Amino acid sequence: MLDISGIRQIEFDVLVIGAGGAGLCAAITATKESKKVGLICKSLLGKAHTVMAEGGMAASLGNVDKRDHWKIHFRDTMRGGKMLNVWRMAELHARHAADRVRELEQWGAVFDRTKEGLINQRNFGGHRYPRLAHVGDRTGLEMIRTLQDYGIHKDIDIHMECTALDILKDESGKVAGVVCMYRETGEFIIFKTKSLILATGGGGKAWEITSNSWEYTGDGYAMAYEAGAELMDLEFNQFHPTGMVWPPSVRGILVTEGVRGEGGILRNSEGKRFMFDYIPEKFKNETADTEEEAARWLAGDKDARRPPELLTRDVVARAINAEVKAGRGSKHGGAYLDIATRRSAEDIKKKLPSMYHQFKVLAELDITKESMEVGPTCHYFMGGIRVEADTTMSTVEGLFACGECAAGMHGANRLGGNSLSDLLVFGNLAGTGASNYAKQLGAVPKFNEEDAKKIIRNATSILNREEGGNPYLLHEDLQKNMQNNVGIIRTDSELQEGIQNIENLKEKNKNVKANGSSQFNPGWHEALAMRNLLITSEAVARAAHLRTESRGAHTRDDFRDESEEWYQYNIISKKGEDGNMQVIKERRKDPNPELERIANATLEDLEAEVAEERKS
């Protein structure tokens, strides 16, 4: 008999799961108001996905182009998200990003500088002005190291290489804690807490070609789902247009959009700069239509319009995909990304040092001399845990979410650079929201012991089983399924097949077996993650099947246009009474009229309005 009293327990006011930008920021903020703050992560501190971010963080600082303003950042974000973003979240983000970036500088971040000595900003897809604060192409490293070095001097109880398995609640349905496992020893621990913040990142490891690491198995989505929370917009999976395609072993590794921001262009096998053929109607007025105009823009002409390579990611990814399908792909099935003929070798090494290094070592290619081969790679989840904008609380009392694992901020498509600033803005709001909730709660709710036992038994049975399937191979089967049936371009029949395959894999997963002991056993960890990957994949596939339109990152070959009707709806996934996944359309709330006006204003009008505001 399993005895819960034999398992170590620690009590918190606020516990944060995940030590990326969002989790660290939330924990730091929580220490302002709460006494006992905890932070746990699956890897070592400083190794979360955030460390890999390259290009920068978007904020309307206006250091490079003074015309920038939160309203214009907001408009860009809404248009990039195809107007499906939660209005209030996009507003909060655009309003607060600049303050948060400056705060990060006070905490020790050393950004690249402008001539005046302020934080420099670079161009990125979908952003009207140079808006991304950056450090070469290692902005994520700068961000996570700053938060880490600042955070370790706050009163935060940090548990590294500790995996959260499932959430505990009390009789009334409030969050009461979480069952975790130390990866090193396999020992279980129960963290009791008044409020719990999920900052676990995404689930891109469900696909074969992905820029994501082993950590991205959708743990946050699955834990929230099992706890009864609602997931939203999971059909929107961003495929970044430029992942490496060759050699095969590095397929999917990211090539930052910064390459295009610094002037890089895309060509097909015929040498044609093909993006001019793919400019969507909505962006025609704001995009250059000749190479000559694009060149003027790069040279700094403020009246020239942006080159089409800097259209939003969904557009560029689909364009590359179409070129390859039409037989005009690069040697290994991608497109050519050329920075070599656009900038001097010295500039490239200075602005994009880690890209230079990455290609030299991994592909034996000198990007100052040759073109890179690139193609779409699964990159980011716009959807996730449904939260209330100002507090970040989910639909379960006491459960909060921020960063990539939360839904709403990015709508149907995220703009590059908007994630890192999202982490700061909503990490901060989550820290405050969770603290406020904890304060009014009084005592830590009492968790249900039977639930805790069940979680632990499920985990250990994977090790104790006499025999069973290999979790790594099961994972590979899931990745193939998602790549082939739930990829960039989707159809009804493939999605149905994808869902059926997931059902079969769920059955197989019931008998998965990990060999060896419980000590630092990646096979066991892989098997534990399978449940999360399967819940995440199922929610993605079912939502993608339900949404019969193409919008942003969700492209249906059988429904090629955006539909007015679908604009009205979000798709919500939730665990039903019968234990099966319920996937339903839910009508969106009406927007605040002022925000709607800003998002739909023409650029000229909005620029004039902002200029007028500044005068007075």
Ligand X SMILES: Cc1cc2nc3c(=O)[nH]c(=O)nc-3n(C[C@H](O)[C@H](O)[C@H](O)COP(=O)(O)OP(=O)(O)OC[C@H]3O[C@@H](n4cnc5c(N)ncnc54)[C@H](O)[C@@H]3O)c2cc1C
Using the minimum distance from each CB to ligand X, give the nearer residue, 57 or 527. Answer: 57
- What Rg, from alpha-carbon coordinates, does the chain have? 23
CB of 410 to ligand X, least distance (A): 10
Identify the three-state secondary structure at position 584: strand
- Taking the least distance from each CB to ligand X, the nearer of 62 and 220 is 220
Annotate each residue in 344-383 with x if it binds other proteins (CB under 8 A) or - if it does not, as one string: ----------x--xx--xxx--------------------
Q: What DSSP state is assigned to residue 108?
A: T
CB of 188 to other proteins, least distance (A): 18
Q: Rule CB under 6 A: which residues touch ligand X?
A: 17-23, 40-43, 48-50, 52-57, 139-140, 163-164, 199-201, 211-212, 215, 219, 254, 380, 403-404, 416-420, 423
In three-state form (DSSP H/G/I as H, E/B as E, the rest C), the secondary structure along 412-446 is: CCCCCCHHHHHHHHHHHHHHHHHHHHHHHHCCCCC
Work out what residue 517 binds among ligand X, other proteins, none; the CB cut-off runs from 5 to 8 Å by kind.
Answer: other proteins
Q: Are 94 and 73 in contact (CB under 8 A)?
A: yes
Check the CA dihedral 485-489-490-493 and report its sign.
negative
Active site residue 260: yes
Which CB atom, from 452 or from 527, has the smaller least distance to other proteins? 527
| Contact status: 219 vs other proteins (CB under 8 A) | no
Of residues 97 and 598, the one with the C-beta less far from ligand X: 97
Q: Which stretch binds other proteins (CB under 8 A): 47-55, 77-85, 390-398, 498-506?
A: 47-55
- 476 touches, from ligand X, other proteins, none (C-beta below 5 to 8 Å by class): other proteins
From 49, 183, 240, 305, active-site residue: 240
Report d(CA 145, CA 158) in Å as an integer.
15
Q: Are 315 and 125 in contact (CB under 8 A)?
A: no
Q: What would the two tokens of residue 367 be?
A: 């990007």
- Among residues 260, 410, 531, 547, which one is catalytic? 260
Query: Smallest distance from the beta carbon of 115 to other proteins, in angstroms?
Result: 8
Give DSSP secondary structure letters for 31-56: HHH-S-EEEE-SS-TT-SGGGG--S-
Within 394-423, the residues that bind other proteins by CB under 8 A are none
The β-bridge relationship of strands 175-182 and 188-198 is antiparallel
Cis peptide before 247 (omega within 30 of 0): yes
Residue in the shown chain whose Cβ atom is closest to ligand X: 20
Ranges within 175-214 binding other proteins (CB under 8 A):
184, 213-214
CB of 162 to ligand X, least distance (A): 6
The interface with other proteins within residues 235-274 (CB under 8 A) comprises 246-250, 253-254
Indicate the residue among 98 and 407 with the shorter CB distance to other proteins. 98
- Could you say whether residue 105 binds other proteins (CB under 8 A)? yes
Instruction: Please report whether residue 460 would count as binding other proteins according to CB under 8 A.
Output: no
> Shortest Cβ distance from residue 328 to ligand X (Å)?
27
Q: 22 contacts which partner out of ligand X, other proteins, none, CB within 5 to 8 A by kind?
A: ligand X
Closest CA to 420 of 203, 216, 141, 212: 141
Return the range that interacts with other proteins (CB under 8 A); candidates 40-48, 280-288, 425-433, 598-606: 40-48
Minimum CB distance to ligand X smaller for 313 or for 545: 313
Q: Does 51 bind other proteins (CB under 8 A)?
A: yes
- Distance in Å, CB of 421 to ligand X, minimum: 7
Sequence-ordered alpha helix ranges (H) in 7-153: 21-33, 70-80, 87-106, 139-151
Stretch that binds other proteins, among 118-126, 313-321, 333-341, 408-416 (CB under 8 A): 118-126
Asked if residue 215 binds other proteins (CB under 8 A), the reply is yes
Q: Which does 522 bind (CB under 5 to 8 A by kind): other proteins, ligand X, none?
A: other proteins
Query: CB atoms < 10 A from the CB of 379, how many?
Result: 26
Closest CA to 289 of 300, 301, 277, 299: 277
Under the binding rule (CB under 8 A), the answer on residue 157 touching other proteins is no
Strand arrangement of the beta sheet that strand 569-575 belongs to? 384-385, 231-232, 569-575, 581-587
Assess 517 for contact with other proteins (CB under 8 A): yes
Name which of 421 and 501 has its Cβ closer to ligand X.
Answer: 421
Decide which of other proteins, ligand X, none touches 420; Cβ closer than 5 to 8 Å per partner kind. Answer: ligand X
Minimum distance from CB of 44 to other proteins (Å)? Answer: 7
Please work out the total of residues on this chain that contact other proteins, with binding judged by CB under 8 A: 69
Q: How far apart are CA 92 and CA 99, in angstroms?
A: 12
CA angle (412, 414, 418) in 5-degree steps: 145
Query: Which is closer to ligand X, CB of 96 or CB of 545?
Result: 96
Binding to other proteins in span 522-541, by CB under 8 A: 522-524, 526
**Reduced to 3 states, what is the DSSP secondary structure of residue 469?**
strand
* Residue indicated by tokens 């918190």: 12
Q: Choose the one of ligand X, other proteins, none that binds residue 171, judging by a C-beta under 5 to 8 angstroms depending on kind.
A: none
Instruction: Output the smallest distance, CB 522 to other proteins, in A.
Output: 6
What residues have CB less than 8 Å from 395, skipping those under 6 apart? 228, 229, 230, 386
Token digits for 130? Answer: 């140079």
> Kind of pairing, strands 121-122 and 37-40?
unpaired
Is 240 catalytic? The answer is: yes
Residue 540's contacts (CB-CB under 8 Å, 6 or more residues apart) are 203, 206, 234, 235, 237, 383, 482, 486
Q: Report the distance separating Cα 242 and Cα 143, nearest Å.
A: 23
249 binds, among other proteins, ligand X, none (CB under 5 to 8 A by kind): other proteins
Q: Interface with other proteins includes 331 (CB under 8 A)?
A: no
What is the spatial distance between Cα 243 and Cα 375, in angstroms, rounded to a whole number? 5
Q: Under 8 Å CB-to-CB from 22, ≥6 apart: which residues?
A: 50, 199, 402, 403, 404, 405, 422, 423, 426, 427, 430
Provide the annotated active-site residues: 240, 260
Which residues would be at the binding site for other proteins (CB under 8 A)?
Answer: 43-49, 51-52, 61, 63, 102, 105-108, 110, 112-113, 116-120, 135-136, 138, 140-142, 145, 149-150, 152-153, 160, 184, 213-215, 246-250, 253-254, 354, 357-358, 361-363, 470-473, 476, 514-517, 519-524, 526
